């Protein structure tokens, strides 16, 4: 690799993430699910634990408040979530999955699993684990 190209690590990481998100979103759409890749990241955390606050979702997804608000507005318009005032502090919004969204969970996870399997085809588990470890260390170095 020439010296100039060696400075493209961030580009390769961004390009790979963009391609994975685009493919996942296309696969959701082909299967008839109105979920974007940005929404999927939020839904994963809600499937893990329903009833999270908007701030928790900001922290978990590493997104700012305006971005989470926009994503949640769209999920709410799509009838995938509802937001309710927090029982103790009414200024805080708690986010819940709708029944319709909960029914979609296994299908969405299967599409995501298949998309990831396509993305990592021909790459060993050891290589995937090493890649994840390296990316986590790079992220930690930049915090």
- Does the residue 135 lie in any domain? yes
Write out the H or E segment, with its range, that includes residue 53: strand 52-53
CATH number at residue 135: 1.10.10.10
- Does the residue 79 lie in any domain? yes
Q: DSSP readout, 59-82? A: HHHT--HHHHHHHHHHHHHTTSEE
- Does the residue 1 lie in any domain? no
Quick: pLDDT tens for 29-87.
Answer: 999 999 999 999 999 999 999 999 999 999 999 999 999 999 999 999 999 999 998 88
Q: How many domains does the chain have?
A: 1
Q: Which residues contact 55 (CB under 8 A, 6 or more apart)?
A: 65, 92
C-alpha distances out from residue 95 to 55, 58, 86, 116, Å: 10, 12, 9, 27
Quick: pLDDT tens for 99-130.
Answer: 999 999 999 999 999 999 999 999 999 999 99
- Does the residue 2 lie in any domain? no
- Does the residue 71 lie in any domain? yes
* Predicted TM-score of the model (pTM): 0.87
Domain limits for position 55:
7-142
């Amino acid at each position: 690799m020439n010296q100039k190209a060696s400075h493209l690590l961030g580009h390769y990481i961004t390009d790979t993430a963009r391609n994975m998100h685009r493919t996942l979103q296309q696969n959701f759409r082909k299967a008839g699910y109105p979920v974007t890749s940005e929404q999927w990241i939020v839904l994963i955390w809600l499937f893990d634990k329903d009833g999270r606050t908007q701030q928790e979702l900001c922290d978990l997804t590493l997104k700012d408040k305006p971005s989470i608000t926009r994503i949640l507005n769209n999920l709410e318009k799509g009838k995938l979530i509802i937001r309710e005032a927090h029982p103790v502090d009414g200024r805080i919004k708690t986010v819940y999955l709708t029944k319709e969204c909960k029914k979609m969970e296994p299908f969405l996870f299967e599409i995501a699993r298949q998309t990831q399997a396509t993305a990592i085809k021909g790459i060993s588990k050891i290589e995937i684990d090493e890649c994840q470890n390296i990316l986590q260390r790079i992220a930690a170095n930049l915090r």
